[in-house]
Amino acid sequence: MSKNFTLDGKVISFKDGQTIMDAALTAGVYIPHLCHNPKFIPHGSCKLCIVNVNGRNMTSCTMPAGNGMVIENNTSALNDDRKALVQMLFVEGNHTCPSCEASGNCKLQATAYYLEMLSPHYTHFYPPRTVDASHPDIFLDLNRCILCELCVRASRDVDGKNIFKISGRGIGSHLVVNAESGKLGDTNFAVTDKAARVCPTGAILIKRRGYKTPIGHRIYDHKKINEIQAESDHE
Amino acid sequence: MSEDRKIKLATCSLAGCFGCHMSLLDIDEKLFPLLKKVEFDRTPFTDIKKCGSCDIGIVEGGVSNVENVHVLKEFRKHCKVLVAMGACAITGGVPSLRNNIDLWDCFQEIYLYEGGLEGSQIPNDPELPLPLDKVYPVYEVVKIDYFLPGCPPSADTIWKFLTDLIAGREPKLSYEMLHYD
Amino acid sequence: MDSCEFSQIEQQLSPVFEQHGYEAQKLLQILLDVQEIYSFIPDEAITYIANLLSVSRVSVKAVVDFYSFLSFKSVGEYRVLFSDNITDQMLGKNELMQYFCKKMWLEPGKVSEDNLLSVDSTSCTGMCDQGPAALVNGWPLTNLDQQRLDLIAKLIRDRNPVSTWPAMLFEVKDNIYRSEILLGKPSVAGAAIKATLERGVAATLSEIEASKLRGRGGAGYSTANKWSSCRTSPGTAHYIVCNADEGEPGTFKDRVLLNSYADLVLEGMTIAAKIIGATQGFLYLRGEYRYLRRKLEEVLAQRRTAGLLGRSILGELGFDFDIEIHLGAGAYICGEESALIESLEGKSGRPRNRPPFPVTHGYLDQPTVVDNVETFACVSKIAEYDSAWFTALGTAQSSGSKILSISGDCARPGIYEYPFGVALYEIFDDCGAEDVHAVQVSGPSGTLVSCKEFRRRICFEDLPTAGALIIFNRERDILQVALNSAHFFAYESCGFCTPCRVGTQLQKKIIDKISDGYGTAYDLEELKYIGHIMRTMSHCGLGHTAANQVIDMLDKFPDAYKNKLKKLVFEPAFDLDRALEKARKITGRDDKLAHFP
Ligand SMILES: Cc1cc2nc3c(=O)[nH]c(=O)nc-3n(C[C@H](O)[C@H](O)[C@H](O)COP(=O)(O)O)c2cc1C
Ligand code: SF4
Ligand code: SF4
Ligand code: SF4
Ligand code: FES
């Protein structure tokens, strides 16, 4: 017998072991998400994907789907709260989109567009963060890191290199690089690594590629992130 | 709003590059019908130095120094509706890239290492507006009613926004009009 | 410290490894010892430890970076950390810390140039009934006043080792003022285990079920249900964990249980082990209670000698169980059960995704029961007597008793055991609290109760509590209570999820703004919405409750902030004049135009 739940009234079937997010994506329904990528173990930290299951908020990328669940996703209340989370991510880092190579291809930005964010609303933290250009082929600009740990997971689980890790606590949490010097250039990180292509923002950028795609032809210039399904890893 | 009275509009550029204003002028021929409904108060296009009582105020640029604060407060005081236009007004934008450089390093770089016109010294003339420690978005200093993002917002976007606002509609931007760069 | 000293790092650290072994789970325990040896974690030690434990250097660094009692830079030969709970502040902590810093020519948070001393604040150390309190090199100082600080200053200047300081500085009292079934009649060690073996495992579990025992750590989950699911979960091993993290500010009852009723607690763990089939148990002891470790080790040793731990407990073949003590290192989040398990495994304390729950996938991914200290004590008593004896006390949904840690404005702060269902006003009489204005029940993560609600009762049906009860009289500024809690959560958020990591910071900024006199009605709305986001979107209980005191203040104590607000609708998010300070310094200007009015 097939199992299913309803998502905003639509019946969606799932297989045992699938999360709500898995089942929704398979069925072609978009649930906003930033730290999730179907190719990696779910992480559950950004909280954009929170849906309301039988009256309770749950993290859809980690919550196993259950038979008969009644789930709300695309409601104005949830989208308002999601927008607040995106605004928090914007003020927490230093996001100067006009001077960012990822602009137009950035999932954080695209999600903000989708949620119709007009301003970051909260007081900016303007945290002092570092840019690491030591690697011949890759920039690491922590000003734009949203701590989604996709690079951590990709490097550990796919590339088998364990180059990244989150260190620190609370608002001081930050991405670190596994090298005595702490520099990306002193690791065996390669431009062909999966971890070089999973960053949802402009924190990990491949050098000499910037602004190659003219404005108007970038991933999210004409299509909303929900239409693109956000499964492509910027490749 | 009634046909007979023209909407009074003021604009200014704080810590910005005037790009948003250029984009405003880019509205080109569609500007003329708009001008039938609008009368400019203080703007870089007129020679009015103080903002009078206005319906709409549009601010470009972030808040970088004392003068920016005074102008912004003046706008807030005299404009019924205040609009933050462009990335700099909304997030600090490109000027805010200085926010993680110590102000002392900025001053040294500009006045001591390179050497100004009057030799190497830091100016302390009270006429010069003192810089703030950081560049702030305008909404952290005064209450803002509307945000019009973009770097700059395109002429079409500004036109759509203004025509909506002047017609008394809640401004609504299409997906392609909403961008942060 | 000279770098040449580190050439001997292998030699210096070999006893540490001898004690703890070479498993990655021991990382945190090893780091605590290294911190004690050098007063920081030297880079050379990081490399050495990483090699020996076969983990990456960044993994080691990430752990150091997470726990507040570990550091990359020296914290001085002496590190004095003042407990920063609201009760400590009410007893003059801020003034005393200032006094001490001035005396030692030191700024809080900085290390003296000769590397002798550093002074800072730390989250509640669990000495609220005998504060102001502090830790010196991890050892608790109680009842601080100027006189004691003068003495401490001298001891430090003369470089007396902390172990030689007068004992009276470190005296920690139990202060038990009221007892019921747990703290009253003492039990003979082993009696409850014996009763369990006689009754049988299944019957004992039924007895616990019939007792309707609910967890005492706060959430109130049915203990029998938890144990049953763990018992039936498949795994290569099952584990018992006693949660002695007691991080909730204002809570200190587990400290007293471990100090004077350790047998009762360890016996409960042993019974749990028998029921779920565990051979290994852990007592996760918060770093602040490190001073209890030696005493606990002695009790463990006695129990092994008496055949109450180890192989074939009480002669029953196959009943093997032992308990190991693991220390925390200054992180409130490690009281959350899945974060605690991460910490037990030697990692940073970030809560896991649930499901799966610890009962199926806990320590090393094996079925694990995590229970509060007091819960285990209750189990011992239930096993020794029976469920009827236990349910004779309490209310319909809250059987038995609850140990409260009472502090704040009352004549007799200390430990009070009550049957569940006791009303707040009854408690005030017992502890000598007069003119009560507000009560914080269950710490910053709990409820702020106003005088209109003093008929409310301590029980899961009404006011659940992990045990903290802080009393505020009419003189107290409730805004300070909310501010203290906002700072606490901003400091203790683990940083894993967006709403709590950022929300706690924003909440702190706005409360500070209101306290500084720049708040407006707009800011109150902001606080409410940020509170809503944290409550409904966060990953774990810390974020869910981080707005409780602020929201309760907004709802119930308008007088606490109303007269602090500006009449205007909006005020800048930051202090404009202060934002000019740097430029004034650089240019040397101080004219009228260089200021905001
Ligand atoms: C942020 C946070 C801190 C916690 N701290 C403690 C603690 O210090 N001691 C404790 O027993 N439980 C604490 N808990 C509750 C534990 O997660 C868990 O529910 C409890 O240990 C279960 O034991 P019990 O069923 O015996 O109450 C905390 C929970 C959260 C969310
Ligand atoms: S990472 Fe994305 S949101 Fe951040 S500055 Fe770049 S484009 Fe903008
Ligand atoms: S660098 Fe990119 S992928 Fe890695 S944690 Fe930061 S935002 Fe995520
Ligand atoms: S709610 Fe707070 S403490 Fe809990 S996981 Fe999120 S950031 Fe960490
Ligand atoms: S996508 Fe689920 S929490 Fe980030």
Question: What type of residue sits at position C219?
Answer: A
Q: Classify B69 as helix, strand or coil.
A: helix
Tell me, what DSSP letter sits at residue C457?
B
Q: Does the distance separating the beta carbons of C586 and B107 come in below 8 Å?
A: yes
Q: Is the pLDDT of residue C1 over 80?
A: no
B164 touches chain A (CB under 8 A): no
For residue C90, the CA-to-ligand 1 centroid distance in Å is 26
End-to-end CA distance of chain B: 32
Query: Residue C245 CA: which ligand 1 atom is closest?
Result: 8
- The arrangement of strands across the sheet holding C468-473 comes to C176-178, C414-419, C401-408, C468-473, C436-441, C447-450
Query: Residue C248 CA: which ligand 1 atom is closest?
Result: 8
Report yes or no: C468 and C507 within 8 Å, Cβ to Cβ: no
| Beta-bridge partners for C490 | none
Instruction: Provide CATH 3.10.20.740 ranges for chain A.
Output: 3-74
Q: Is the pLDDT of residue A231 over 60?
A: no
Instruction: Provide CATH 3.30.70.20 ranges for chain A.
Output: 82-233
Report yes or no: B153 and B86 within 8 Å, Cβ to Cβ: yes
Residue B110's pLDDT is what? 81
Q: Is the pLDDT of residue A230 over 70?
A: no
Domains of chain B as residue ranges with CATH: 7-97+133-172 (3.40.50.700)
The mean pLDDT of C547-556, rounded to a whole number, is 98
Angle, helices C373-384/C201-210, rounded to nearest 10 degrees: 110
Question: Per residue, what are the HEC states of C188-251?
Answer: CCCHHHHHHHHHCHHHHHHHHHHCCCECCCCCCCEHHHHHHHHHHCCCCCCEEEEEECCCCCCC
Burial of C355 (0-12, 13-18, 19+ CB in 10 A): exposed
End-to-end CA distance of chain C: 49
Q: pLDDT averaged over chain C?
A: 96
Residue C387's pLDDT is what? 97
Report yes or no: A147 and A175 within 8 Å, Cβ to Cβ: yes
Residue C6's pLDDT is what? 65
The CATH code for residues A3-74 is: 3.10.20.740
A32 token code pair: 């906003």
Number of H helices, E strands in chain C: 23, 14
C584 touches chain A (CB under 8 A): no
- The arrangement of strands across the sheet holding A138-141 comes to A131-132, A138-141, A204-206
Q: How would you classify the pairing of strands A174-177 and A164-167?
A: antiparallel
Residue C35's pLDDT is what? 97
* Whole-number CA gyration radius for chain B: 18
B138 token code pair: 């305008």
The mean pLDDT of C169-183, rounded to a whole number, is 98
The mean pLDDT of C500-526, rounded to a whole number, is 97
Q: pLDDT averaged over chain A?
A: 95
Q: Which residues contact A209 (CB under 8 A, 6 or more apart)?
A: A101
Domain boundaries, chain C: 3-66, 78-173, 177-391, 479-564
State which H helix or E strand residue C93 sits in: helix C93-103
B110 touches chain A (CB under 8 A): no
With the C-alpha atoms ordered C102, C107, C109, C111, is the resulting torsion angle positive or negative?
Answer: negative
* Residue closest to C363 by CA, chosen among C377, C346, C378, C376: C346
* Residue closest to A150 by CA, chosen among A114, A187, A108: A108
Hunting for tokens 């994907």 — which residue is that?
Answer: A49
Share of chain A above pLDDT 70, in %: 97
Task: Give the number of whichever ligand sits closest to the CA of residue A45.
Answer: 5
Residue C5's pLDDT is what? 60
Residue A233's pLDDT is what? 40
Q: Is the pLDDT of residue C64 over 50?
A: yes
The mean pLDDT of C145-164, rounded to a whole number, is 98
Q: Classify C156 as helix, strand or coil.
A: helix
Q: What is the pLDDT of residues B77-109, one digit of tens each?
A: 999 999 999 999 999 999 999 999 999 988 888
Per-residue confidence band for A205, with pLDDT thresholds at 50, 70 and 90: very high
Among B66, B124, B142, beta carbon nearest to C580: B66
C143: left (phi over 0), alpha (psi -120 to 50) or beta: left
Report yes or no: C239 and C368 within 8 Å, Cβ to Cβ: yes
Q: Which residues contact A65 (CB under 8 A, 6 or more apart)?
A: A3, A5, A14, A18, A19, A20, A22, A23
Q: What top-level class would CATH report for the domain C78-173?
A: alpha beta
Burial of B128 (0-12, 13-18, 19+ CB in 10 A): middle
Q: Does the distance separating the beta carbons of B130 and C594 come in below 8 Å?
A: yes
The mean pLDDT of C151-174, rounded to a whole number, is 98
Residue C571's pLDDT is what? 87
Q: What is the pLDDT of residues B114-163, one digit of tens each?
A: 655 566 788 888 889 999 999 999 999 999 999 999 999 999 999 999 99
The mean pLDDT of C42-49, rounded to a whole number, is 94
Fold of the domain built from segment(s) C479-564: de novo design (two linked rop proteins) (1.20.1440)
Q: Is the pLDDT of residue B44 over 90?
A: no
Residue C449's pLDDT is what? 98
DSSP assignment string, C544-584: HHTTHHHHHHHHH-GGGTGGGS-SSS---SS-TTGGGHHHH
| Beta-bridge partners for C90 | none
The mean pLDDT of B50-61, rounded to a whole number, is 94
Mutate which of A108, A139, A146 for ligand 2 pocket (most atoms within 8 A of beta carbon):
A108
Interface predicted TM-score of the whole assembly (ipTM), two decimals:
0.97
B29-38, C164-173, C458-467: segment of lowest average pLDDT: B29-38
Share of chain C above pLDDT 70, in %: 99
Q: Residue C260, Cβ neighbours under 10 Å: how many?
A: 15
Q: Classify C171 as helix, strand or coil.
A: coil
| CA–CA distances in Å: residue C405 to residues A149, C247, C257, C413, C440 | 40, 13, 11, 8, 11
DSSP assignment string, C509-533: HHHHHHHTT---HHHHHHHHHHHHH
B146: closest CA of chain C, how far (Å) = 15
Report yes or no: B130 and B66 within 8 Å, Cβ to Cβ: yes
Q: How would you classify the pairing of strands B54-60 and C117-122?
A: unpaired
Residue A130's pLDDT is what? 95
> Residues C161, C132, A169, CA angle at the centre, nearest 5°?
80
B77 token code pair: 């005081």
| CA–CA distances in Å: residue B26 to residues B21, B36, B176, C363 | 9, 17, 18, 64
State residue A166 phi and psi, 5-degree precision. -95, 130
Q: Does the distance separating the beta carbons of B143 and C569 come in below 8 Å?
A: yes
User: pTM to 2 decimals?
Assistant: 0.97
Q: Classify A70 as helix, strand or coil.
A: strand
Mutate which of C350, C502, C508 for ligand 4 pocket (most atoms within 8 A of beta carbon):
C350
For residue C389, the CA-to-ligand 3 centroid distance in Å is 57
Q: Give residues 67 to 106 of B whose Cβ lies within 8 Å of A.
A: 84, 87, 90-94, 96-97, 99-100
A16 touches chain C (CB under 8 A): no
Q: Which residues contact C42 (CB under 8 A, 6 or more apart)?
A: C1, C6, C9, C34
| CA–CA distances in Å: residue A68 to residues A5, A9, A26, C147, C357 | 5, 12, 18, 67, 22
Q: Is the pLDDT of residue A235 over 60?
A: no
Residue A211's pLDDT is what? 82
User: How long, in residues, is chain A?
Assistant: 235
C159-182 burial code (b ≥16 CB/10 A, e <16): eeebeebeeebeebebbbbbebbb
Looking at per-residue pLDDT, the higher value among A40 and A2 belongs to: A40
Question: Per residue, what are the HEC states of C360-395?
Answer: CCCHHHCCEEEEEHHHHHHHHHHHHCCHHHHHCCEC
Q: Is the pLDDT of residue C274 over 70?
A: yes
State which H helix or E strand residue A186 sits in: none
For residue A200, the CA-to-ligand 2 centroid distance in Å is 9
| Beta-bridge partners for A4 | A13
Q: Is the pLDDT of residue C512 over 60?
A: yes
Rounded CA gap, A31 and C10, in Å?
52
The CATH code for residues C177-391 is: 3.40.50.11540
Rounded CA gap, C232 and C367, in Å?
9
Report yes or no: C31 and C64 within 8 Å, Cβ to Cβ: yes
* Residue closest to C62 by CA, chosen among B112, A174, A62, B71: A174
Q: Which CATH number fits domain A82-233: 3.30.70.20, 3.90.1150.10, 3.40.50.300, 3.30.43.10?
A: 3.30.70.20
State residue A11 phi and psi, 5-degree precision. -80, 125
B144 touches chain A (CB under 8 A): yes
Residue A232's pLDDT is what? 47
